[in-house]
Amino acid sequence: MDFIATTLLLFIVLDPLGNIPIYLSQLRVVPEQRRRFVALRELCIAYLLLLFFFFAGSAFMKLLSLDIAAVNIAGAVILFLIALRMTLPIQEGVSDNVGTHAEPLIVPLAVPAVAGPGALSVVLLLREANPGDSMTLFAALTVAWLISAVILSSAPRLQRILRDEGILAMERLMGMVLVIIAIQMFLDALRLIGAIDA
């Protein structure tokens, strides 16, 4: 497992740039002096959930009797859907909090914004596909989360610097990279089951 490639993959899946609008809209109702604290709290909750899937992933696979090839294909499909959402954004409604003045807790900033189904399944997939590289994956996950945490906790400043157009352009570029990664994962799964020649 390549550390840099894995970190980049996890960073793209966590999608901090795409989550900036969600964080901005949800933190609008929070007093300004508490916004950074709330953002960091939600990011820590997301990290704990990712770690749960990291450590419990193998037991989860055995419990459900899942084949690694099936998980590879499922991971590729999920990554492809995430990439489509990044390159062709649609309104999902997770950022709507109209009429609510309470601080966001767990939903939607921790889940599904950061630790969404895509991120959790990719962590599970990588752990199962690379059982001998646990420390590399753990380090890559932590670094990807740290970079995402820095970006999302600085969301208002980044939006002022990059503006909406810059954030959208960067997110679509990462989405295109993710399409390529998803197709590669799908081909690897087909090779694993012998459907195509190596």
* 33 occurs within a structural domain: yes
Percent of the chain with pLDDT over 90: 26
Closest to 161 measured CA to CA, from 26, 27, 34, 20? 20
Distance in angstroms (rounded) separating the CA atoms of residues 89 and 173: 12
Residue of 151 and 198 predicted with greater confidence: 151
Query: What pLDDT does 57 receive?
Result: 75
- Kindly give, in sequence order, each residue whose CB lies less than 8 Å from that of residue 131, ignoring residues fewer than 6 positions away: 58
Query: What pLDDT does 167 receive?
Result: 79
pTM metric for this prediction: 0.76
Closest to 13 measured CA to CA, from 75, 60, 65? 75
Q: Is 189 helix (H, G, I), strand (E, B) or coil?
A: helix
Query: What pLDDT does 93 receive?
Result: 46
* 141 occurs within a structural domain: yes
Query: Which amino acid is located at 61 in the chain?
Result: M
- Read off the pLDDT band of 196 (50, 70, 90): low
- Domain containing 66 equals 3-192
Q: How far is CA 128 from the centre of its chain?
A: 18
**Helix 16-27 and helix 35-64: axis angle, to 10°?**
130
Q: What confidence tens digit (pLDDT) does each residue in 80-121 have?
A: 887 787 777 665 544 444 445 578 889 888 988 899 877 888
* 197 occurs within a structural domain: no
